[in-house]
């Protein structure tokens, strides 16, 4: 055969080079795509402001409750200064080692939220732990056949999904730092493994992430602080009131529209001492507000919060008083109700619940519901809880995770406060 010409040789040379270039380009594009996909399915320490999905809210809503909320005296108001009332429920799980709202092993999350909305609740308190945001905290016990769009997501991305759909159907959301560690509750807002700096950084991340979503109405800074946590003692490592100011101001510097919910402690004595008796339920004692109020850099954002439970959950001597349950209103007035009645700030009973199996518990719940009052001027509340697997209270759901405990729901119906959005 004759030797190939120089021209034909160059043509043959270009062909493999062209193929190599094309193949290499495709390989690079595939790698870039994989890296993007990996980034979307991980939970880095900080995220940009809320994703497009989580910032999609009820643009067509009308009526009471729209926009960002603020306070005036003991009342919460919407963006148009209409009086509003938080009347909601807790759905736990993101704070536990499932790293997802519980019950998703038997139901779809949207079905859960639709049912909550249909019952007339207007707000979802969503507990989480700081450990949720660790790279090794993998969501589990989710039936992905029922929840296919949660497959492969981090705990934070599942939070995004819950918030996005709740926002879409008109449920407001309060984020609750329930505890630092997913394995159990802590007295303080920090632990050795999750220091205060991490607590603050996580709140700043969440404030930034959901900044553009007015359906996320605020931050419950720490669940049930209790001794050695104090109120007004002045020790920066123990004084919950001072820590709440630090966190609240850090959040408001990023997201000035959020309400800041500050729970009480359990023990309060002179100078903030915790060496007193009686001590109340964790988070229930707000006596210290009279002498040591929380001071935030943005006005009209502060809501004080308490939790209250019956004798079956946490026994105290007042449950055995001869005038029980008539003694309860004066008791609540002393420890937290005065804040509402004197117009100092709104009060939110962030947790209260019972299995409703004893006469004492039934009397307690009836008395508390009467104390909370009806209508927009009533005290704010979120019932504990939606989940039937809360050991000492059960839930609004029965053990089948589907049907409703009608006795509990019937007692709560008079204090519901539906808002626009359905």
Residue of 371, 1, 380 whose CA lies nearest to 217? 380
Our answer to whether residue 351 is catalytic in this structure is yes
The catalytic residue among 80, 196, 224, 263 is: 224
Contact 296, 309 (CB under 8 A): no
Q: What is the 3-state secondary structure (H, E, C) of the chain?
A: CCCCCHHHHHHHHHHHHHHHHHHHHHHHHHHHHHHHHHHHCCCCCCCCCCCCCCCCCCCCCCCCCCCCCEEECCEEECCCCCEECCEEEECCCCCCCCCCCCCCCCCCHHHHHHHHHHCCCCEEEEEEEHHHHCCCCCCCCCCCCCCHHHCCCCHHHHHHHHHHHHHHHCCEEEEEEEECCCCCCCCCCCCCCCCHHHHHHHHHHHHHHCCCCCCEEEEECCCCCCCCCECCCCCCCCEHHHHHHHHHHHHHHHCCCCEEEEECECCCCHHHCCCCCCCCCCCCECHHHHCCCCCCCCCCCEEEEEECCCCCCCCCHHHHCCCCCCCHHHHHHHHHHHHHHCCCCCEEEEECCCCCCCHHHHHHHHHHHHHHCCCCCCCEEEECCCCCCCCCCCCCECCCCCCECHHHHHHHHHHCCCCCCC
- Is 7 labeled as catalytic in the residue annotation? no
CA angle 415, 111, 37 (to 5 degrees): 125
Long-range contacts (CB closer than 8 Å, 24 or more residues apart) made by 195-202:
196/243, 196/246, 198/130, 199/130, 199/247, 200/246, 200/247, 200/250, 201/45, 201/46, 202/130, 202/133, 202/177
- 83-84 β-sheet, strand order: 70-72, 75-77, 83-84
Exactly one of 204, 263, 351, 357 is catalytic; which is it?
351
Give me the active site residues, please.
224, 351
């Amino acid at each position: 055969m004759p030797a190939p010409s120089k021209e034909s040789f160059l043509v043959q040379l270009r062909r493999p080079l062209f193929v190599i270039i094309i193949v290499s380009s495709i390989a690079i594009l595939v790698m870039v795509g994989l890296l993007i996909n990996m980034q979307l399915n991980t939970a880095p320490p900080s995220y940009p402001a809320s994703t497009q999905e989580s910032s999609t809210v009820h643009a067509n809503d009308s009526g009471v409750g729209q926009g960002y909320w603020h306070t005036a005296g003991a009342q919460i108001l919407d963006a148009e200064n209409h009086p509003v009332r938080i009347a909601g429920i807790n759905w736990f799980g993101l704070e536990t080692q499932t790293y997802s709202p519980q019950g998703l092993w038997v139901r779809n999350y949207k079905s859960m939220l639709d049912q909550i909305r249909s019952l007339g609740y207007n707000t979802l308190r969503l507990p989480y732990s700081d450990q949720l945001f660790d790279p090794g905290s993998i969501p589990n016990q989710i039936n992905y056949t029922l929840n296919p769009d949660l497959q492969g997501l981090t705990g934070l991305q599942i939070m995004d999904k819950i918030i996005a759909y709740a926002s879409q159907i008109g449920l407001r959301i309060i984020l609750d730092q329930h505890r630092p560690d997913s394995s159990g509750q802590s007295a303080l807002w920090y632990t050795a493994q999750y220091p205060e700096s991490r607590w603050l950084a996580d709140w700043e991340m969440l404030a930034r992430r959901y900044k553009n979503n007015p359906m996320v109405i605020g931050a419950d800074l720490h669940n049930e602080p209790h001794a050695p946590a104090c109120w007004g003692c002045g020790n920066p490592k123990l004084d919950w009131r001072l820590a709440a100011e630090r966190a609240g101001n850090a959040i408001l510097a990023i997201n000035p529209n959020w309400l800041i919910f500050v729970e009480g402690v359990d023990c309060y004595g002179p100078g903030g001492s915790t060496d007193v008796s009686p001590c109340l339920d964790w988070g229930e004692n707000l006596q210290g507000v009279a002498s040591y109020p929380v001071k935030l850099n943005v006005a009209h954002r502060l809501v004080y919060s308490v939790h209250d439970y019956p004798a079956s959950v946490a026994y105290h001597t007042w449950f055995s008083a001869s005038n029980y349950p008539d003694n309860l209103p004066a008791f609540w007035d002393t420890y937290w109700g005065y804040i509402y009645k004197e117009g100092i700030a709104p009060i939110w009973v962030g947790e209260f619940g019972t299995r409703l199996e004893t006469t004492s518990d039934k009397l307690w719940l009836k008395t508390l519901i009467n104390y909370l009052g009806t209508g927009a001027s009533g005290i704010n509340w979120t019932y504990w809880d939606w989940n039937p697997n809360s050991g000492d209270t059960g839930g609004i759901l029965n053990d089948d995770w589907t049907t409703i405990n009608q006795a509990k729901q019937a007692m709560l119906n008079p204090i519901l406060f539906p808002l626009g959005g359905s």
